[in-house]
């Protein structure tokens, strides 16, 4: 029997859509990261927040490619008995959602991808983060306060530091740092998918570099029914910076 991802489920407070929503976080995160979306969406949909493999309280694995991570989501969905779902993913979670469309296309009703494109990124954006995370362990920090002091030697964005510290407990990272480092090329990589004709919404941050105009053709090849809602003034953490705008985009997309 397959081990399922850790998740929490919210039952709607009002008559619900028949299609559940699965919220999928990004690299270094956990199921709480998309909580601002869950708190709204759970009023109208059965809503699940998941920890992806090697994150949060989900199982550990030596491998992290998108086919496997997407299969984890599908295993959870089918294990819970759902015949259709809506996938909403941020960053790496967006790639996981898109990859699921190639494995079980009939299971996916709609996809929302927050600030991510179906491309392989060449730039190693996270090396300074990996260095900071490893330094915390090397210095045997046991408190978040001590860890923060160490991390500030490597990272200048306090918001990034505080986000990462949410996964620091009792001197350990809640994500599997050695595997994330070893599998990083898979995480930033991408293998082009066969065309999926379902509806998919991309929500890039207007100030982010993750979704560029030159990606338009490669997005259209894989997702011919794609649409986009650019959130002006937002960077990569679109849902945290402009939650009301992101939720408005999601609700309009799902209602169309």
Q: Which among 91, 101, 167, 208 is annotated as catalytic?
A: 91
The predicted pLDDT at position 151 comes to 98
Provide CATH code, domain 7-120+192-255: 3.40.50.1820
pLDDT in tens, 208-224: 999 999 999 999 999 99
Taking the C-alpha atoms of residue 253 and residue 150, their distance in angstroms, rounded to an integer, is 43
The predicted pLDDT at position 222 comes to 98
Poorest-confidence range of 10-19, 102-111, 122-131, 132-141? 10-19
pLDDT in tens, 21-80: 999 999 999 999 999 999 999 999 999 999 999 999 999 999 999 999 999 999 999 999
Q: Is the pLDDT of residue 99 over 90?
A: yes
Q: Is the pLDDT of residue 17 over 80?
A: no
The predicted pLDDT at position 125 comes to 82
**Is 126 marked active-site?**
no
Q: Is the pLDDT of residue 242 over 90?
A: yes
The predicted pLDDT at position 173 comes to 98
pLDDT in tens, 129-185: 999 999 999 999 999 999 999 999 999 999 999 999 999 999 999 999 999 999 999
**Is 167 marked active-site?**
no
Q: Which among 10, 25, 90, 236 is annotated as catalytic?
A: 236
Per-domain residue ranges of the chain: 7-120+192-255, 127-180
The predicted pLDDT at position 227 comes to 97
Q: Is the pLDDT of residue 16 over 70?
A: no
Q: Is the pLDDT of residue 110 over 90?
A: yes
pLDDT band at residue 122 under the 50/70/90 scheme: confident
Count Cα neighbours of 248 within 13 Å in the Cβ-side half-sphere.
7
Q: Is the pLDDT of residue 201 over 90?
A: yes
Give me the mean pLDDT over the 246-255 stretch.
97
């Amino acid at each position: 029997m397959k081990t399922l991802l850790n998740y929490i489920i919210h039952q709607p407070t009002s008559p619900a859509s028949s299609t559940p929503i699965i919220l999928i976080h990004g690299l270094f995160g956990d199921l709480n990261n998309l909580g601002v979306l869950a708190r709204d969406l759970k009023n109208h949909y059965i809503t699940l927040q998941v920890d992806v493999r090697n994150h949060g309280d989900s199982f550990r694995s030596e491998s992290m490619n998108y086919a496997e991570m997407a299969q984890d989501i599908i295993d959870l969905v089918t294990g819970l008995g759902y015949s259709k779902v809506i996938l909403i993913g941020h960053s790496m979670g967006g790639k996981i959602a898109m990859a699921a469309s190639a494995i079980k296309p009939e299971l996916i009703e709609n996809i929302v991808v927050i600030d991510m494109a179906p491309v392989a990124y060449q730039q190693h954006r996270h090396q300074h983060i990996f260095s900071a995370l490893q330094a915390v362990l090397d210095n045997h920090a046991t408190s978040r306060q001590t860890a923060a002091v160490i991390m500030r030697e490597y990272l200048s964005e306090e918001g990034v530091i505080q986000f990462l510290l949410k996964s620091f407990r009792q001197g350990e990272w809640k994500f599997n740092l050695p595997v994330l480092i070893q599998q990083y090329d898979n995480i930033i990589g991408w293998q082009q998918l066969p065309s999926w004709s379902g509806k998919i919404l991309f929500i890039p941050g207007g100030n982010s570099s993750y979704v560029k105009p030159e990606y338009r053709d490669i997005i259209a090849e894989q997702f011919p029914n794609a649409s986009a809602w650019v959130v002006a003034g937002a960077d990569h953490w679109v849902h945290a910076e402009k939650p009301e705008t992101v939720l408005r985009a999601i609700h309009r997309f799902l209602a169309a």
